[in-house]
Structure 1
Amino acid sequence: MERISYKLEHFEGPLDLLLHLIDKNKINIYDIPIVEITAQYLEYVRNMEREDLNLVSEFLVMAATLLDIKAKMLLPREVDEEGEEIDPRAELVRRLLEYKKFKLMGEELAEREDGAIKHLYKPSTLPPEVAGYVPPVDLDSLLDGLTLAKLQRIFEQVMKRKEDKIDPIRSNFGTIKREPVSLEQRIGTVMLYARQRRKFSFRQLLEGQADRLEVVVTFLAVLELMKIGKIRLSQEEIFGDMDIETLEPEGQEEALDLEGLEDFEG
């Protein structure tokens, strides 16, 4: 019968050969039939081509280990400090499980490497000014060493500065609301001014006005008095001052007919 030879390169080491035999025989790795596995392992080693003595020596060391475990299995079991029997195969099982785990991880990484070759990556097309952008403030260095206690102190200092800016007296004042400007009352005021001075300029009439709204209402009052024939307005040049003169005879004051006139509110 022709002897079958095996190349050592088919297996990555003695543990790889043992896993091959366990998988081939569908053996429970936690309950290895050491006699059967040792016999099959020695058969593989005897039929291997002895091209590399260094490589063969690794398999021979494992063969010696299997023979040692086989011998211990025939002897009475040793017990540990807790009185439990020590399984001579325990160390071998541990090494096989560890090797199997790393072998599976290696296969997973190899698959990922093969998959990565199929990916295409687009080179960066960022404009130079964008790629070279540097934030004006480095938050990492700015906040280096910042703790909740320091942050609380900063917050309290900011709030205190805000409180110091508040005037303790003026802050208690209420809100002053603008009262509506009565056009009817302003007409009466202007007419009284005209009766007292008889002739005056528009600029003189506006002296002492509080704000722009009162100026506007005063101008409307002048227009209303012109409309009902109580005063006359003249202007010698464009953009010049306007002269106002009352048309009401002195000493003959008449009531103003302001029916239908509405207050002007601002």
Structure 2
Amino acid sequence: MLSYKLEKFEGPLDLLLHLIEKNKVSIYDIPIFEITNQYMEYVNAMEEEDLDIVSEFLVMTATLLDIKSRLLLPAEKDENGDEIDPREELVTRLVEYKTYKSLGEQLKSRQLLASRLLYKDPTIPDEVSKYEPPVNVHDMLSKVTLERLQEIYRMVTRRQVDKIDPVRSKFGNIEKDPVRLSQKLALVYEYAQQKKHFSFRGLLQKQYTKADVVVTFLACLELIKIGRLTVKQEGTFRDIHLDWNEECTTTITREDMEQYD
């Protein structure tokens, strides 16, 4: 929560900054004698009861008197032989304070501007927000010319030609070996023996071509025929469930399966 004091200063640096601006002097070249006298006049006229606030102003008074006395003495020099300005540290503090004070005033102005703004949630009806203007076909095709269409056609055909592998395209069509019933019968036999209960639709989802589906169907019929599989269907067009019949003693060997080809 920001607090502002009217007709009072927020601290010794605020008072010093006020005196510098009042006398229209540069903050980097403070007339320390004149500013110190004016500062002490204000401190002597203070009627503040808070000892902490009074002590802050008294500490700054001592600082100003120290700078004033150092300016009366011969100039001090640093290791490089340059003169040391006793006001340098005070100037640095004043510049920092002025920067933060300026930022505070900007935040205050923004706070005042924000208090005058009102926000309202959008109340646009759905039929208005979802409205899309109708497409004007004439406008859309106004820039389409026969030359442009030919250019698009050539570009599309060129892409198709670029997709053709110049080497592999000469190999001809590669066809998959036909599906053998004996092999499919062995796979379904092993699958049913492991799963025990499965759906016919789930079995067909593992097939890749129409030939696989047809041969898988024939393999299931053969296993149903010899009693190795039992069929259940709860209704017309419902999924067909197949169960492995443990009571069936009929076995099919590899040699028997090869006879189906």
**Could you state the TM-score of these two structures normalised by the residue count of structure 2?**
0.46
Structure with bigger gyration radius: 1
**Could you state the TM-score of these two structures normalised by the residue count of structure 1?**
0.45
